[in-house]
Structure 1
Amino acid sequence: MTWDEEYDIVCVGSGVGGLAAALTGAENGAKAIVLEKFNVLGGVSALSSGQLWPGPTHVSEEAGIKDDPQDAQAYVDHLSQGFGDPEVRKAYFARSREAIRFFTDKIGLELEVIKGLPDYYYPAVRGSAPEGRYLETKPFPAKKLGEWASKVMKSPFGDYYVYTTSNEYIASQIRGGESMGACFHRHIAADERCAGAGVAAALVYAALQRDIQLRLETKVIDLVIEDGKVTGVVARDSKGTKQIGARSGVVLATGGYDWRPDLVRSFDALPVAGNMTMPTITGDHITMAAKAGVIPIPSRSPTQSPIFIGYGVPSETIYGRQSSRLLTPGHPHTIIVNSKGHRFANDSFYPDVATKVGRFDGQEDGMPNWPAWLIFDQNFVDRYNLLPNFPGMPLPEGMAVESNSLHGLAEATGIDAAGLAETIERFHGFCKTGVDEDFGRGTVPWGRIMTGDFNLPHPNFAEIEKAPFYAVKLQRVTMGVPTAGLPINGNGSVINASGAVVPGLYATGNSAAWSDWGGGYNSGIAGMRGVLYGYLAALDMTKGKGS
């Protein structure tokens, strides 16, 4: 094969997984290139909260937090629910710890513990922890990027996603820290990027320091396979098509398949879904790997995938179509109900709601909890509101059904009026005691911190009493973490349909099947898997020593 260009490592996609692989390779002497299909760098990682969940690490230990890896192992084993590869999952903590040490000490990534943020299922699940297992990057000064600052993604869903950290949010919620508004304006003034945008900026900066080639608006359209080994890619940009050689290997880090409705329908069991990813997330890894005899596999039930609940905003256009927004439920003055007007889940903890809306029951007309609605009053709008609007602003046009009475709201939406009235009356009783006798609202610390108002006697409870009343019909919303992906082994090598390694082909992040973790989810795991398997793939290609 005659190559137009040749490198040791070719990374397809510039999210945390692709950048992690390129940086690890470069640190071990490899010549690396990152090819990004979109017009800015960062991938879905840049749109995220930027959290990493590696379990116990030197970062948490240096913060004075004691943790037992065996406890963390018990927690993830419970979450797996029998899915995934136990041996690969067992290696997760040792190798994640190693990878975090590498990225802090060798790459210069400034990570800190998100203090006060518990595991999703703390304290109910054995081995869960009250804090210490989540990490995030410190705010990154964009000026360090120079002309590349405009080439690294900032969320199109608003500056709120770019200029606040999880640490600041937790501090403002439970420790009386600086207000989120003050944090927001301070970071904007300094152009310090936080969360996923901060991770992307920090990793791109590290890549530039190591002379890693970064190409934008470059679509990889094919793998080059010679004698059964992946030896390069065919890429297309505005100047035409090139054949780019990969002496050591190709890393597929293209994300999920959110913009492929057929794949979302087939793998995630969602006939209709909104999404919050960029339009380049079209399952390219699946298309390309098929040439090498690779079949994507689901590693869990779709109901166990982190497919969120959210809502559409008809008046807002992002990426050329009506936007969808994530809902983190549980704010005071709100409940979630089905068409019978009944609550059906702990509606202060999104994983419980997301699971229950997908319930199928042949004796109850199929899906008894779908469609579902968020019900709230004017107090919620005045004090909390739904993005993209802030407290006190009117709701975006066309987003909600509005009525001056709860009965009128029920009639306008088709919700059973008697059922809704009964539910709200019962909920108001819980608001007085702070005890949800039906679904345990407010009992999960993670959910209470995320959406509770700690100025109230019971943070997740307040009555729905002030007219006008509103109903927002909920959507299922994907955020780049799919049910299916390419099967990999512990080094990130892709496995074909015969169970054999495809030489020269690797996958990381959301392109890789969750065959290590299996069933459950905890925020920060998707990002950490990107870092981990990008790191391990590059070590395997370079036979590097890691940390």
Structure 2
Amino acid sequence: MTEWDHRTDFLVIGSGAGAVGALRANALGKSALVVEKTDLWGGSTAMSGGVIWMPNNPLMQREGVSDSHDSALDYLDSLVGDVGPASSPERREAYLTEGNEMIYFLESEGVQFIRCPKMSDYYAGIRGYRSGSLAGRSVEPKVFNRKKLGKWSKRIRPGFSPVLNIYTGEGSALQTPKSSGGPSTVLRVAFRTAWGVASGKKYVTNGEALMTRILHALLRRNVPVWLNSPVVELIVEDNRVIGAVVERDGVRLRVQARDGVLIASGGFSRNLAMREKYAGHLGPMSDEWTSANPGDTGEVIEMATGLGAATAMVDEAWWMPTWMDGGKPAMAMTVGAKPHAITVDANGHRFYDESISYQEAGQRIYAHHQSTGAAIPAWLIIDSTHRQKYTFGMMLPGIGHQKWIDAGDWKTADTLEGLAEACGIDADGLTKTVERFNGFAHTGIDEDFHRGEGGWQQFYGDPDHGPNKCLGAVETGPFYAIPIYPGDIGTSGGLMTDEHGRVLRADATPIAGLFATGNCTASVFGRGYPGAGATIGASAVFAYTAANFVGKSVSGKALDHG
């Protein structure tokens, strides 16, 4: 008989969106414990936009935005297709049905949301895909006063915008501050931020707001949270996971989990050995290009596979075109959707639609590199019109880029030929590519890759630019080139799970007592990315379904997980 240092019904490993499982389990009458390996709460979710993609969600219904369950299923069918049991009909159904129940539940726990208006599904309006929503199916958390957390307020992983209180849905207008909607959005964000400071509050938005709201709800329910507490072993008895060894502040404790252990510990973006093992066949791998949180190292995935867990799509990630800013990864998520920009390989050739979803951009970079050896790095080329009109990262138009040039992060030249020489790009290939692209910019039709045809692409284009919001000639020097790498915001393949979040063996039988969700699992969306917040949505939803499953049992008398 195992001796225990701590007992709970439901143990959740990781403090990202999967912590929804602990909140739900407690609401169903279970005791719960969240353990986080690092010294900060929030995981990669806190560093993100904090958005949840949820078709036909309650906020859409309240605002009269048309959508349906069947339309969402049709969209997923056209985008994901048949990728096996990771995206089974049962898992898709659970995502859409229990996911909407989860939104209502979170609202009842004080996690308030707003819609991301006009933030289209990533493939809405794109040829070959059906039933995407141009109105958008994403929600994000309302601004939150972090001071409500008391002593916990200083133990939150910082978000991507630690100074300005920006909603994700405002990002497009902030990137085009000189165009329609830009000035008013800038003023709104400035007022919101200034009001928080003046009123003595510590407002946060995005992923930081989502995770502080969830933590606030957990603390109100007196659910314990342990930081600095990595899991070092899963405890198995009679072929069932019954707990884990947790090293809390350097002391190893045996924690009983009477109804189950939920792995919500993220993927393995920061583990180069695992990346090379599972995805090295794609091309060059690096743990320096990722924007995932520092704890994204994958050891709990390997604990589960050691118990016989099956895996799928372990070579996949939530790819993100990335450039290096002083040796640190910086996302180039939507800069390619703006006019006056193209991405080329070392031969000077375009090879994909620069405005497509960031995950597909990464897939295209790797695929093209496999066939040409010339796409890592790829080169983002912008002209002076782009630099004068649009933000780049958090840098305002027309200023700040000299520091990147001085550091060698950017290349610049007065002519395209000079830029090609500075970058090692074939000059003849680049000039011919730009000439052809500029012709597309004048007609508004990208005959090669159809850039700017979809709703999401247009959302991140320039609303005042025509005839295509995403196409503008690259013609005004000086020109700038930024090396682009296939970075990511987390891996997206891993443990196989069912609609209840139960971890499965290769024969599709569940490992009793073991659940998983989020980036440590094979995605319900296969190798696709349906819309903003799909990553966080899946992590939260399948934590919720797992909690619902264990909620059907009497503590200490778990259901037959087989």
- TM-score of the alignment, normalized to the shorter chain, above 0.5: yes
Measure, in 2, the Cα distance between the counterparts of 1:336 and 1:475. Answer: 11
Matched residue SS, 2:512? strand
Measure, in 1, the Cα distance between the counterparts of 2:542 and 2:39. Answer: 25
Q: Deviations over 1:371-400 (max 9, x none)?
A: 410011233233324325332323222211
Q: Name the aligned partner's letter for residue 489 of structure 1.
A: D
Q: Name the aligned partner's letter for residue 465 of structure 1.
A: E
Measure, in 1, the Cα distance between the counterparts of 2:385 and 2:103. Answer: 44
Residue 9 of structure 1 corresponds to 10
Match of 1:442 among 452, 455, 458: 452
Task: Return the offset for 1:270.
Answer: 4.5
Task: Return the offset for 1:370.
Answer: 4.3
Measure, in 1, the Cα distance between the counterparts of 2:186 and 2:299. Answer: 39
Q: Do the aligned partners of residues 171 and 370 (structure 1) sit closer, same or farther apart at CA in structure 2, a change above 3 Å counting?
A: closer
Q: Do the aligned partners of residues 297 and 435 (structure 1) sit closer, same or farther apart at CA in structure 2, a change above 3 Å counting?
A: closer
Task: Return the offset for 1:250.
Answer: 0.8
Q: Does the Cα contact within 8 Å between 1:341 and 1:420 map onto a contact in 2?
A: yes
Percent sequence identity over aligned pairs: 30
Match of 1:139 among 131, 143, 155: 143
Matches within 5 A, 1:374-385: 374-385=380-391
Measure, in 2, the Cα distance between the counterparts of 1:386 and 1:175. Answer: 18
Measure, in 1, the Cα distance between the counterparts of 2:153 and 2:193. Answer: 14
Task: Return the offset for 1:544.
Answer: 7.6
Q: Name the aligned partner's letter for residue 295 of structure 2.
A: T
Q: Matched residue pairs, number?
A: 527
Q: Name the aligned partner's letter for residue 143 of structure 2.
A: P
Correspondence 1:338 to 2:345: yes
Task: Return the offset for 1:498.
Answer: 4.2
Residue 411 of structure 1 corresponds to 421
Measure, in 1, the Cα distance between the counterparts of 2:250 and 2:90. Answer: 46
Match of 1:91 among 94, 99, 102: 94
Structure 1 runs of 4+ with >6 Å offset = 171-175
Q: Name the aligned partner's letter for residue 193 of structure 2.
A: I
Q: Does the Cα contact within 8 Å between 2:47 and 2:293 map onto a contact in 1?
A: no
Measure, in 1, the Cα distance between the counterparts of 2:369 and 2:376. Answer: 11
Correspondence 1:521 to 2:529: yes
Correspondence 1:194 to 2:198: no
Q: Do the aligned partners of residues 436 and 476 (structure 1) sit closer, same or farther apart at CA in structure 2, a change above 3 Å counting?
A: same
Match of 1:479 among 482, 486, 489: 489
Measure, in 2, the Cα distance between the counterparts of 1:459 and 1:361. Answer: 29
Residue 224 of structure 2 corresponds to 213
Matched residue SS, 2:457? helix
Residue 355 of structure 2 corresponds to 348
- Structure 2: runs of 5 or more not aligned: 197-201, 555-562
Residue 319 of structure 1 corresponds to none
Match of 2:122 among 120, 123, 130: 120
Residue 506 of structure 1 corresponds to 515
Measure, in 2, the Cα distance between the counterparts of 1:138 and 1:500. Answer: 40
Residue 54 of structure 1 corresponds to 54
Matches within 5 A, 1:167-316: 167-169=169-171, 176=181, 179-189=184-194, 190=196, 191-268=202-279, 269-273=282-286, 274-298=289-313, 302=316, 305-313=317-325, 315=326
Measure, in 2, the Cα distance between the counterparts of 1:46 and 1:229. Answer: 32
Measure, in 2, the Cα distance between the counterparts of 1:278 and 1:132. Answer: 27
Q: Which of 200-209 and 144-153 deviates more?
A: 144-153
Residue 67 of structure 1 corresponds to 67
- Structure 1: runs of 5 or more not aligned: 317-321
Q: Do the aligned partners of residues 252 and 71 (structure 1) sit closer, same or farther apart at CA in structure 2, a change above 3 Å counting?
A: same
Q: Does the Cα contact within 8 Å between 2:241 and 2:512 map onto a contact in 1?
A: yes
Residue 559 of structure 2 corresponds to none
Matches within 5 A, 1:447-466: 447-450=457-460, 452-457=461-466, 458-466=468-476
Residue 100 of structure 1 corresponds to 103
Q: Deviations over 1:110-131 (max 9, x none)?
A: 1222111211111232111112
Task: Return the offset for 1:66.
Answer: 2.0
Q: Name the aligned partner's letter for residue 355 of structure 2.
A: S
Task: Return the offset for 1:279.
Answer: 1.7
Task: Return the offset for 1:27.
Answer: 0.5
Measure, in 1, the Cα distance between the counterparts of 2:354 and 2:169. Answer: 24
Q: Does the Cα contact within 8 Å between 2:495 and 2:516 map onto a contact in 1?
A: yes
Task: Return the offset for 1:358.
Answer: 2.2
Matched residue SS, 1:480? strand
Match of 1:400 among 396, 400, 410: 410
Q: Does the Cα contact within 8 Å between 2:366 and 2:486 map onto a contact in 1?
A: no
Q: Name the aligned partner's letter for residue 21 of structure 1.
A: G
Correspondence 1:433 to 2:436: no
Measure, in 2, the Cα distance between the counterparts of 1:224 and 1:369. Answer: 45
Matched residue SS, 2:7? strand
TM-score w.r.t. the length of structure 2 is 0.88
Measure, in 1, the Cα distance between the counterparts of 2:65 and 2:59. Answer: 9
Task: Return the offset for 1:444.
Answer: 1.6
Task: Return the offset for 1:57.
Answer: 2.2
Q: Do the aligned partners of residues 135 and 224 (structure 1) sit closer, same or farther apart at CA in structure 2, a change above 3 Å counting?
A: same
Task: Return the offset for 1:54.
Answer: 1.7
Measure, in 2, the Cα distance between the counterparts of 1:36 and 1:194. Answer: 22
Correspondence 1:45 to 2:45: yes
TM-score w.r.t. the length of structure 1 is 0.90
